[in-house]
Amino acid sequence: MKNLLTRLRGVERDIIQPPAEDQAPYYEPQANEIRVFEAAYRKRLPVMLKGPTGCGKTRFLEYMAWRLKRPLVTVSCHEDLTSSDLVGRFLLEGEQTVWQDGPLTRAVKAGAICYLDEIVEARTDSTVVIHPLTDHRRRLPLEKKGQEIEAHEDFMLVISYNPGYQTVLKDLKPSTKQRFIAIHFDFPAEEIELRIIRNEVPDLGEDSARRLVAAGRRARALKDHGLEEVTSTRALVYAGSMMSAGLEPIEACRVAMVNPITDDVELAEALMEIVKAHFAEG
């Protein structure tokens, strides 16, 4: 009953939640990533997930958290994310100051998997905070309190990192990178991608799904021609969802696969050519 309540929509709940035991998040393994992750977990080594946007990094981690039966704390990093946002800060409450743990501290204490999504977005000082956590020390210093926490034995740190994404101004420092076990993700193979789409959008026909996957894979050939990000599996799922919601296939692809990834008129035209070829009546 309590489980049910905490899963109610529109209700605040604590960020540290044990994974629901009954329902596994849907994940199609691409290679040996599950074995690698489990091995890293056994040795409590931090893991870095590399790969393009929308190829399944976050979903993989949700799945692994479920599989390892650990709570998952996800922090989406952004430009203004400081170390206090991760570690914690003093707040005023009534007449006194109160220390409030940040999500990282909570995860360290509770033995959760802490997932720092798109870590390059965060400021340098916050990436340095995780250093002592990622080596043999496994400690989190709470500078402001003059304390440090020995991490819970089940605690694990995972970051995601998208190489080539906005590296104009940002990149991880080599000293940070080399502390992690890195698993490289790419878009799944054709059959796997097809299974993913059939699974995520069950009411989409086999034929449409097949065309969608073929179009998506074809569109990725344009990667080095001015696309920062290519058509992701997620975009294909979205396009499939739009189709199953009643939108014409070509329009669905335009709004889900073409418009979001480029403002370049000609590139968009070329992508639409690909879509139209696959979804033409015939």
Partner 1 sequence: MNSEVEKALAALAEASFVAHRDALAALPCVRRHGDAAALEWLKACRELFLHDRDAGRAFIRGTPAIEEVAEEVLTWTRQALQFMKWRNSWKAVEGFMDNLPRAYLILGHAGEVRWAEIGHKWCMRHLESGTAYFRTPVDDLAGRQGITGVENVCTPAEELFELRRLALSTYLAGAIKVRNLLGAPAVLPWALRGADILQAGRLRGEAYFRLESEESLHLLMEQLPGYRLPEHQRLMQFLVAAWYPGSIGLKDGNWSPDQGRAFVETDGRDLFLPAAMAGREEAVLGVLHAAGHILFGSYRRDHMEALFREAGAANPSVDPGQRIDWQPLYALFGDDAPRFQLLFDLCEDLRVDWRIGKVIPNHLQRMVEEAEACHPGPGPAADYYDLALRTLKRAANFTPALTLPHQGGGNASRRFEPLLAEQATVADAFRIALQLYREIPLAPVSTREECQRAYLPGRSPNAARPVYPREEQTESGKQQRDLDQEEGTPSQTPLPLADEKSPKCVQGGEPESDQKTDRMAGVGGQAGFGIPQPARVQSHGRGQGAGERGIPYPEWDYREGRYKRNWAWVQERKLAESNMNEAIRLTHQYAHALARLKKAIQAQKPTRQAPLKRQFEGDDIDLDAVVGFVAEKRAGLSPHTSIYRRRDVQQRDTAVTLLADLSTSVMQQLPEGQGRVVDRIRAGLLLFAESMEVVGDAYAIAGFSSKYRDSVSYYTIKDFEQPYTGEMKAVIGGLSGRLATRMGAAMRHALTRFRDAPCRRRLLLILSDGRPEDYDDGGDVRYLHEDTRMAVKEAGDQGVHAFCITLDPAGTEYLSRIFGAGHYLVLDHINSLPKKLPEIYLRLRR
Q: Does 222 bind partner 1 (CB under 8 A)?
A: yes
Sign of the CA dihedral with 214 first, then 215, 218, and 224 last = negative
Sign of the CA dihedral with 239 first, then 240, 242, and 248 last = positive
Q: Does 278 bind partner 1 (CB under 8 A)?
A: yes
Sign of the CA dihedral with 13 first, then 15, 60, and 41 last = negative
How many whole angstroms separate alpha carbon 56 and alpha carbon 69? 19
**Is the CB of 66 or the CB of 279 nearer to partner 1?**
279
Identify which range of 18-26, 114-122, 184-192, 261-269 contacts partner 1 by CB under 8 A: 261-269
Q: Are 188 and 182 in contact (CB under 8 A)?
A: no
Mark residues 173-202: x for contact with partner 1 by CB under 8 A, - for none: ------------------------------
233: which residues sit within 8 A by CB, 6+ positions away?
Answer: 54, 55, 56, 187, 188, 193, 196, 197, 216
88: phi then psi, degrees, rounded to nearest 5: 140, 170
Q: Does 16 bind partner 1 (CB under 8 A)?
A: no
What is the DSSP-derived secondary structure letter of residue 25? Answer: P
Mark residues 108-127: x for contact with partner 1 by CB under 8 A, - for none: ----------------x---
Identify which range of 80-88, 109-117, 128-136, 239-247 contacts partner 1 by CB under 8 A: 80-88
Shortest Å, Cβ 43 to partner 1:
32
Q: Does 53 bind partner 1 (CB under 8 A)?
A: no
- Is residue 244 helix, strand or coil? helix
Residues lying near partner 1 in the complex (CB under 8 A):
79-80, 82-84, 89-90, 92, 95, 97, 124, 144, 164, 167-169, 171, 211, 214, 218-219, 221-222, 225, 263, 266-267, 269-270, 273-274, 277-278, 280, 282
